[in-house]
Chains A and B, each alone.
Chain A
Amino acid sequence: MTALVKSETQMSPARAEQIRGVRLKKRLLLTGLTVGALFPALPVIWMLSSSFKSNGEIFEYPPRLITENFSFVAYTDILTDPEKLRFFFNSYFVATCVTLLTLLVAVHAAYAFSRYQFKGKAVINVLVISVQAVPPVTLLIPYFGLMVVLRLYNTYPGLILTYMVFTLPYAIIMMTGYFNTLPKELDEAVKVDGGSPLTALWRVLIPISIPGMVSVGVYTFMIAWNEYLFALTLTRTNDMRTVPIGIQLLMGQHAYDWSEMMAMSVLGAIPVLILFLFFQRYFIGGMTAGSVKA
């Protein structure tokens, strides 16, 4: 930028004109980006601001971003309430289990798809893809009875296995794509040395597939963390409920406590925000690879 400015003085008028055009374009673009950014940012700013207000100030007129009652009361209320902390524990526990188990099952399935030719492969492949489009609401009615029969109703395994049905197809497709980019000679070498296919998978393929597994894992965690419909239907007692249902329960209680609901929302968004900040590259990779490369 400074180099541009310096050299501009010695430039021919036409070149200077061109540079001025570029700078004008740049300024317009930055303005556009900033104005556009208000669309996603304003509601989020208001959510943060409301979480620090007292409940009476949420709809005050005219609205203010920061009031004299600025406090963390809503946050401390939530973080000292064992029932609400339990929602967070449940969400973390379920989402973590779903992520680890999905990865474990998916790498084996993906290994089969990537490294073997077998009867029915094409059919199974199409099945795995189309399973993703099965509407959750279709499964809801039979699930209720099925979970009771399997004694999984209102339990962690019930939620975890249910979520895996929705995370697994995507994870398999992604990991198959990832394994396909790794040369087959790697695992052939293990077999020549007398190792089994499992050795090849665990000793060679998995260690070099960590980036792919991280992006699948982050995406899986998000799906599990955000799930609402089955968490609502397959749990009965508050000690089994997750954060999204906890937020809804707050909404149902007596008068709306907006500042507490906003504080709970901020707290509920933090894990995903942290994942995003730490794994931004993988995150975006995980989001896009499915539709760009698949």
Chain B
Amino acid sequence: MTFVTLPFFIFVAAVTLAYFLAPRQCRWVVLLLGSYYFYWTNSAWLVLVLLGTTWVTFGIGLWLQRVNDQKQTWLKANGELPWSEVSKYENRINRRARCILLLGVAIDLGALLFLKYFNFFGQNINRLLSGLGHGSPVPVLKLLLPLGISFYTLQAIAYMVDVYRGDERADRNPFKFMLFMSFFPQIVQGPIPRHDKLAVQLYEPHDFDYTRMCYGVQLMVWGLIKKLVIAERLAIPTNYLFDHFADFKGPILLFASAMYGLQVYTDFSGGMDIARGVAHILGIELELNFTQPYFSSSIEEFWRRWHITMGSWMKDYVFYPLSLSEPFTNLSRKCRKVMGKYIGKRIPAFLAMFIVYFLVGFWHGPNWKYVAYGIWNGVFIMSGILLESTYARCRKKLGIQEKAVTWRLFRIIRTFILVSIGRFFSGAADLRTALDMIGRMFMHWRDITFIYNGTLLKAGLNTANWFLLFVMLMLLFFVDFMHEKKVSFRQVLDEQPLVFRWLIYIAAVLVILIFGYYGPQYDAASFIYAGF
């Protein structure tokens, strides 16, 4: 039962009905039962892994809370003691809290690393050892990956760190915490929630609101259009061109990669719209995960607009703590002495950034191609910052106006091309194939005859389907452009006469039913990011 199947919509209708009919104090229980039913139908016994992570995280949260409370009580009672005494106590209790946090992170992360990466590490160790003549000692295990484990593990770590830092109080009700960890619209592929933003919304009852329900349904319909009409249609030629890349050279491969990027965007953001729409009907606001990333004028900006909750997770729980840690601060001081202030100050932040993008890549999957994907993005971001002053001097020399529309347009197109080249890494079968494709892309790079010589018609879509795809991509561009201009479609729709509004709704549903791609390669179960 995934987001784009009829049973899911029946399930959403049933949960919504039960939620609003249930007594107010029991409404969160409906969400909990619904969430576990949803998880069970998708993952059966793998629900035990989710339960394990949930209980460990809950227990660690309580433990950390107890230590924090102890610390506060002691400080209140002994605030008059000399600073050295207070500091000694603080160091001791902080060390204890850190050990508890590390234990929780090790268990939760250990489950993810074991289930998702054991075979990857095993195969790499085997390859290394067999090269040295020691055989292949690490066995290959048949491991099943629980749905959403990459997402809920990050969610659990964020919760424990927030309690450790004293930013959040630990949940005391294990069942409510189970709901926080399993809320069905976001468990599959995010957005990665924070406890302070989501938990209260889940635990507090919400009353039925017709306007809110309409907004939620609108979001879901738009998400379905993105997923079924655009992403699934884009998948056909993209798969063909990636599978037969050896038959092609030149810009057609960049075209394939750009289409793959758009496919991932419409697939992932479509899924997010459905998730946010369902939550919205229930009165719960999930965080935005995309803000028109293809309007970015640099890769750095692209990553601020793409998978936002992942980016902010990495920033808050990896980048900042690493950059401000003692070893990194010492490194910064040393670098400043050796390399001068400008570079020296940036080196530790670059190193932290490099680690972040390595992790972002690796998080996507146990394959070196994802590591290369992360590094590709990281290198461009770092070079952009490092060469900022050089670029500024060049702009000045060339007389380029920073705020000119043409300059911004040039930067948007340049970013689009760089992002699209990066997509070779995530879209190709493996790293070698990705590099091969990039190499082939630069051969005959002026050959754009594929646009009109019929090559694209052999890639699985006929003329009518290419035309429809073009129209839908223009619609996507228009909607994103209007969002960029802060135009609220919901409000615009609200202001229309009832008949016109319903005509739009019916047309949108018809577009999904008629043009939604349910062809031979269609697999209702697969959302790209659900696989991560």
Partners in one complex: no
The chain A residues found within 8 Å of chain B, CB to CB, are none
